[in-house]
Structure 1
Amino acid sequence: MYYNGIYHLFYQYNPKGAVWGNIVWAHSVSKDMVNWEALEPAIYPSESFDINGCWSGSATVLPENKPVIFYTGIDPNQYQVQNYAVPENLSDPYLRKWVKPADNPIVVADETMNKTAFRDPTTAWKIGGHWRMVVASRRKQRGMAYLYRSRDFRKWIKAKHPLHSVPNTGMFECADFFPVSLSGDTGLDNSAFGPNVKHVLKVSLDLTRYEYYTIGSYFPEARDKYVVGKGFVDGWNGLRFDYGNFYASKTFFDPSKNRRILWGWTNESDAAQDDAQKGWAGLQAIPRKVWLDPSGKQLLQWPIEEIETLRGQNVQLSNQELKSGEHIEVKGITAAQVDVDITFSIPNLDKAEPFDPSWTNAQDLCGLKGSTVQGGVGPFGLLTLASEKLEEYTPVFFRVFTGLYKHVVLLCSDSGRLITRWWRVSGLGEKHASLLEYIHW
């Protein structure tokens, strides 16, 4: 959250080791989301309603400029209950101390619900006289996003109908529900609503360990339901923020620059023993600004502008012509991390392969059309992490296809750890059109 000029990042943390367990709410603060100072944990097990764990949740800044944390506590019965915490001293700019009022828990699962699969309350939003929040859950193998309402932010009542549910997905985790503007890249406060607004529902899937999102319409006055937009896949093959190791993401509205910021957890894939030897097992990915694509069919994202302050030596290469099978080495880069800004220009797209409408999964198509499979236009791109004689490298590459009405651009990585995304590019139907794409990472 952003509060009085300070960004606050709360995250699940084990202070006793690099494996899961002993979870507390760690707390770091920053003025630019680049340089961070770690503080003592904000929340840790101490009361009957969270004695067995303080799990994920969200922060909400109330209109009176008072922040509140919602989080999932594990009680003595191992039930998951929803609690809240407030700052002990609002005059402390870092909000180091948080207290848990005596009226916790504020939300418990009723007898019709799964009390051991009920967690991760969202940031709240207010429309009319009621606050609302979502708690993720499951009913058998159906993912559930339960909706709760409150007038005073303390007494919460479950709505008659869930905000949304999807069969055969398994447990929803870390649900996120937020508005996006139909025009421009300006972010919106969680309570924004109106004719120029769509809503996004993101869920993390416990079964698959990846997450997906949909874009749709929210009807607060008509049963308080979220309706997925036409054409969106609402399930395991839906849109993702990231096709790499990216999970448990959450967004927040940054009022200082009117933008929505996405944070995601990148966890290691090593064995627990290796993690223990390293002393760490996960990190927070670079924060990203997110907004709605003008087509309305997906979200766009970009590293926050503050990341550019980390740039050091600038290496430039321009006006290079490459023929099929050729490559050019970019010299002068010695850092382990590089920010690449690149433009490819294609003389024409006459030889682009036809796009098969049955190709609905970009990741599967990247496996079918690998970096060594020659196409009509592509593959072209970058060989990263390359050895001197190219015995080893990680290719990041494009292909261009001819669709029914417009060209389709596929971006892949053979490593399976980088982005895999579709771009449906308009304005490429002319015989001598040029393709311009920018990639940052």
Structure 2
Amino acid sequence: MAIITRSAMALLVAGLVVGSLAGAAAAMAYLPAAAANTTTASSAAQQKATAGGGGGGTELKPEHSVSSPAASGSADSSPSSQQHFVSNSDLVGLFKKAEGSVVQITSTASVVNNNIIINGSPLQSESKRLGSGFVYDAEGHIVTNNHVVDGAKVVDVTFVDGNTYPAKVLGRDAYSDLAVIQVTGDDDNSNNNSAERFSPLPLGNSSMLQVGEQVVAIGNPFGLSNTMTSGIVSQLGRLLPNGEGGFSIPNVVQTDAAINPGNSGGPLLNMRGEVVGVNTAITSSTGDFAGVGFAVPSDTVKRIVPALIARGEYRHPWLGIAGASINSEMAAKLGLQRNHGGVLVSSVVPGGPADKAGLLGSEAAADSGSGSRGSDTGKQQQQQRGDIIMAIDGHKVKRIEDVITYLEEHKSAGDKVTLSIDRNGRQLDLVATVQARPDPQQQQQQ
């Protein structure tokens, strides 16, 4: 599934660029947003919602595995088992326990300036990107954001004691904005990894988080190493727009703990010291933190990181549709009840899983109804609407997020899924075989 969202607010990556800026930095949701001592305002990105990765998509209204070795296995991460008021000593103790496991990541990116031509070729330069990460296991695997290491094969990792080591990029997943690097030692030919050097942070259960629960973020904002900020979980289950192929990240954790450029890839911790999210982005109109930050949930980390370590990639489930949640306004236009719910399919990728299952989008329905000469406009409009997904494997669908989240958490490529649809008042069950998403480059070319 995929969804593209646009809104008047701008989403900025919490990444930091040192040196020259790469073109229109911060114009997209997942590009670096600032340079050293320079804050770059982001352009406002409007929201459009599509689902299923059909490339371009249809513009709509903004309604829009294996367990980690570091997982704590704790079943109860609810705030009821914690103090309602966290003392300063609790925060001090948490920081001391976690600081040795949080690192600064420096990567070098090549920048091409097409506005300056020398000897017939655009000027090329290099810029360093600063981000954060945390130790995942005793083998030297470190989790960070994809946008922190994108385009790099080797990066530098600096620990709290000031020691810096080279690390190779093992795997990246642009769709979840997660990546794994591994410390290789003092040079590429040595493997000086020692259990004493690496102190993994345990992974908590993000599905047990509650709004109002206290959390802290640790990272390197603006290059200021090992900075901790505190706040609460502001909301759960957010759908975070991602420029990679039009797919969004589901179940994202929203927090008011300050996240700034350079925090990208750092951990969001509960008061047990467990990682419940990977700090990824902020919403801002200026480029500065405005009280709304986002973190990829730890449950997503548990599902994706083992695959990145083993294979260097993760295969996301894909249906190949574009659509939108049916709100009350859309329901009225379609002649449906105000709280009808469901997801209206606007388009279907030719040859994709949904297409093979027989799902119809609005475009196909309009084509099939174009020969109608009836004078009843309302009836003709209903004939031309796409299928409405009402349930997936028996689970009721109210919003497009329900479809995206279910696929991500319960399905893999090759699995079958039953879509219960409303086709102009007829109730049908269609069975689709889920495929792996196209890679981002292929997706952008479609």
Same fold (TM over 0.5): no
Higher relative contact order (CA 8 A, sep 6+): 2
TM-score (norm: length of structure 1): 0.29
- Structure with greater proportional strand content: 1
- Structure with greater proportional helix content: 2
